[in-house]
Structure 1
Amino acid sequence: MDTENTINEPVTLLKDTTPSEWGLYSWKSKPIKHQPVYSDTEELSSVLKEIENAPKIVEIQDICDLQDNIRLCGLGDKMLIHLGDCAETFKDCNEVSIKNRFVLFNLCSLIINKILKKDVVKIGRIAGQYAKPRSSPVEVVNGVAMSSYFGDNINCFSPTKEGRVPNPEKLIKGYHWAVTTYHTIEKLMNYKTYEICRDVLEDQLREQTALDKDTPEYEDFINVIKECAEDLSDIEDLYVSHEGLLLDYESKLTKLCRYSEDESEKYFNTSTHFLWVGERTNKFDQAHVEYFRGIQNPIGIKVGPKSDPKDIVKSILTLNPENEMGRLTLILRLGAKNVKETLPPLIEEITNHKLNVVWVTDAVHGNTYVNDCKFKVRHFDTVLEELVSVYTILHKNNQIFGGIHLEVSGDNVTECLGGITKTCDDDLYTNYSTQCDPRLSFLQTLHLIYKFCIEVSKLDLLPTE
């Protein structure tokens, strides 16, 4: 990789990205999208005050440690995996569900370490991923128009007009469930993790009765994941994340803190370690980017196939004027059919400005479609195709593949087609339980990571310089 791209030199801001003075609520002066409208503003104010006075969920030291680790991913020394639910639900904030996801994240990292010989930085879409932007604010159910479901932090999934009204009290519940989930993760990290991994994997294999045993790599895949479960004795930390969508909520958990005695006080979002701004809210001149530019957490920007590379550069310049490696992750959600056309121009724009970013591919979002049975689905093969394609194009353009971002479940759901589970259209009725987008199942996720590692290890690519 060009050594100039790994030096933290401040960048020259474009004229229209030169920011005004930042304040914790300066985002309120900017255009904003995808925020709920509450009918009882007094109740909302009371709830936000309670959240403002609540203890922080994560520690400042851990936030800073994560940024150091993401920097190493950007330099090629480590690889990032960012996995978890499309939209967490409060009902899944139980020990079994949390444990399954915890094990899944760790097994994926061990597969990468075993095959690609890379240390892995693990971030979960967990302990706070309770809010989602939606394409339409309204949907019609049985002839009744009502608000769309925006996540358990905002309204109810059950399609009733009353339940879909945004409810401020759900913000309090979201905070408490995030605390509970994170504390459970911390407890699991201090336990005999190899025993947990082995037991969960055995349960998952026992529950799944239709594995594709005819696939050529079946035996090797099973042996690898079993070895990973047995070999695990000491693991690195699992960091948590969510989309920073609800700016009122995020602002109240943003605290002025001192990282060390030698540092001045700075603002950290203490609700999570890592936040990302979505494709719908990533504009440099709007409220979300304005809020994000003032916090010290490492952050991500979702980039879609229709994103203008020049606009993405403007957002990068706004969010990371010091050009610090590890501060900013580009999460590519391009779609397999769009990668070859859309990724090279983005790489060119980034490299022309000598910007330090960590390249991560979100290989599920751009590959969603509605099948003949009216289910939103994704196919295992298409997701794998995008992973390998992004890796190859980055490598050939002298860029480092920083990591993988996927929407996954810790259970044997039937929401994505194909893979080792041989899930087909008829299987979708078995356990299609997502409240938003389709997720890879526990074993599909392990199989995808395994297949990606095998495919990448076989590629005849020149090493980066």
Structure 2
Amino acid sequence: MTSDASSTPAHTAPTRPAAQQPAWPDPDALAEVVRELAVLPPLVTEEEVTALSGELAEAARGERLVLHGGDCAERFEDSDRDTVLRKAAQLRGLATRLREGAGAPGVTAVGRIAGQYAKPRSADHEPGPDGRSIPSYRGDAVNAEAPDPLLRVPDPRRLLTAYHSARRALAALRESARGEEAAQPVYASHELLLLEYERALFRKGPGAALATSAHFGWIGERTRGPRDAHADFASAVHNPVGVKLGPATTPDEALALARLLNPEAAEGRLSFIVRMGAERVTAALPPLVRAVADAGVPVVWLCDPMHANTYRAPGGRKTRALPEIRREIEGFVRVLRTHGAHPAGLSLELTPDPVTECVEGPRERTGAGDFPDYRSACDPRLNPEQATAAVDAFLDAR
């Protein structure tokens, strides 16, 4: 796809509900940023997206595994070459472990990278250091992490910084794929959350209409309504897309999303990223798997064992316990196998840094002193040893 590709907006109806959008204070400033974004070159190419679609089609047929992983919330400062290369190396190493351990013909590595600069939040405001309410941090694309009321005001110029940060990170990813492990590209993904940004980077190329902000985008649990704006946008692009499914998802909701986002039943087009929780996955997942199978819509089933197992430790830190992560992975694989479906892989929040954000032991033994190196801007991530343990749990469950 060339830089002069059409930027005709996607067919999203403006009256459709759009949850989790920032309260931009200056509509004129936002409109100016959107105009600037709309004439910038695409971040990803049609050829790259087509290659990923082909790999995910193999995963949908049970011929390939998928490792999706990276930061909960990327920081602009981490788009430098060395940081991106370290992240890519971690994903490649875990993908190799998956491939060799499963005897799989291939594993696709998709990073939460080069665009994961925005986060949905459960509340618009949170207590500041002095106890007064300040806007919640919604990711570097929106506002600053520093708990300063002025810096927490959404700033649309940050969308331009997000674009240029993603461009730097993608350049490093492409460079890494030209090295000795050229057969293992790392594709870029992020949550399709900020609709003004995503619409501005919508392009009609020679072969397809694409969201050119990433190779793969997903819709979160808080924004996945089949009649809402995020699903409508995703239905207009030809990128492979994912949807997070929590424990309250009904079979009718899953079917509505499958039919909206994959009306032609194309293999690899749609991934369902399951985030049920260790206690609920074996009960909540089977009806969805049965409904999708009966409808004949191919789906890439991925397990996110992180989000529904998050809790607050003494002292207030958000964390996740490895025993619960393992149990959700095991339950996910067991359900898919029981129903004749392919457990295609994992979606993990992880980092190559030696952080202490997730805990090794049971939830009830978590203490305030378990986090001597907590760096995440939002949710807790697995460190390298813990990420390897999660991959091994998937391999053992198969």
Calculate percent identity across the aligned residue pairs: 31
> Paired residue for 1:124, among 111, 120, 143?
111
1:190 shift after superposition: 1.6
Residue pair 1:104, 1:446 contacting (<8 A) in 2 also = no
> Paired residue for 2:270, among 295, 307, 328?
328
CA separation of 1:127/1:256 partners in 2, compared to 1, >3 Å: closer, same or farther?
same
Tell me, in whole angstroms, the C-alpha distance in 1 between the residues paired with 2:31 and 2:321: 44
CA RMSD of aligned residues (A): 1.7
> Paired residue for 1:83, among 66, 69, 72?
69
Tell me, in whole angstroms, the C-alpha distance in 2 between the residues paired with 1:340 and 1:374: 29
Partner residue in 1 for 2:397:
456
1:173 shift after superposition: 0.4
Higher relative contact order (CA 8 A, sep 6+): 1
Tell me, which stretches of 5 or more residues in structure 1 are unaligned?
Answer: 1-21, 193-232, 260-265, 458-465
TM-score by length of 1: 0.80
Tell me, in whole angstroms, the C-alpha distance in 1 between the residues paired with 2:256 and 2:373: 42
Residue pair 1:107, 1:446 contacting (<8 A) in 2 also = no
Partner residue in 2 for 1:413:
355
Residue 292 of structure 2 is aligned to residue 350 of structure 1? yes
Tell me, in whole angstroms, the C-alpha distance in 2 between the residues paired with 1:27 and 1:436: 31
Q: Counterpart of 1:132 in 2: which secondary structure?
A: coil
Residue 184 of structure 2 is aligned to residue 236 of structure 1? yes
Residue 248 of structure 2 is aligned to residue 318 of structure 1? no
Q: Counterpart of 2:392 in 1: which secondary structure?
A: helix
> Paired residue for 1:54, among 35, 40, 50?
40
Q: Give the partner amino acid of 1:367.
A: N
TM-score by length of 2: 0.93
> Paired residue for 1:36, among 22, 29, 39?
22
Tell me, in whole angstroms, the C-alpha distance in 1 between the residues paired with 2:23 and 2:182: 46
Q: Counterpart of 2:279 in 1: which secondary structure?
A: helix
1:37 shift after superposition: 1.7
Q: Give the partner amino acid of 1:330.
A: F
Deviations 1:107-163 (A, max 9, x none): 101111111111101100000000011011111122211110000000010111101
Residue pair 1:100, 1:411 contacting (<8 A) in 2 also = no
Residue pair 2:221, 2:246 contacting (<8 A) in 1 also = yes
1:446 shift after superposition: 1.8
Equivalenced residue count is: 386
1:426 shift after superposition: 5.3
Which portions of structure 1, spanning 4 or more consecutive aligned residues, are displaced by more than 6 angstroms?
none
Residue pair 1:56, 1:253 contacting (<8 A) in 2 also = yes
Where do residues 364-443 of structure 1 align in structure 2 (5 Å cutoff)? 364-418=306-360, 425=367, 428-443=370-385
Q: Give the partner amino acid of 2:196.
A: D
1:429 shift after superposition: 3.6
Residue pair 1:329, 1:357 contacting (<8 A) in 2 also = yes
Larger radius of gyration: 1
Residue 155 of structure 2 is aligned to residue 150 of structure 1? no
Tell me, in whole angstroms, the C-alpha distance in 2 between the residues paired with 1:40 and 1:393: 48
Tell me, in whole angstroms, the C-alpha distance in 1 between the residues paired with 2:394 and 2:302: 14
Tell me, in whole angstroms, the C-alpha distance in 2 between the residues paired with 1:44 and 1:62: 30
Partner residue in 2 for 1:4:
none
Q: Give the partner amino acid of 1:156.
A: A
Residue pair 2:118, 2:139 contacting (<8 A) in 1 also = yes
Q: Which of the pair is proportionally richer in helix?
A: 1
1:307 shift after superposition: 1.6
Deviations 1:361-419 (A, max 9, x none): 11111110112222111011211111121111100111111111001112111100118
Q: Give the partner amino acid of 2:316.
A: K
Partner residue in 2 for 1:187:
175
Tell me, in whole angstroms, the C-alpha distance in 2 between the residues paired with 1:394 and 1:369: 26
Tell me, in whole angstroms, the C-alpha distance in 2 between the residues paired with 1:70 and 1:113: 15
Tell me, in whole angstroms, the C-alpha distance in 1 between the residues paired with 2:179 and 2:335: 40
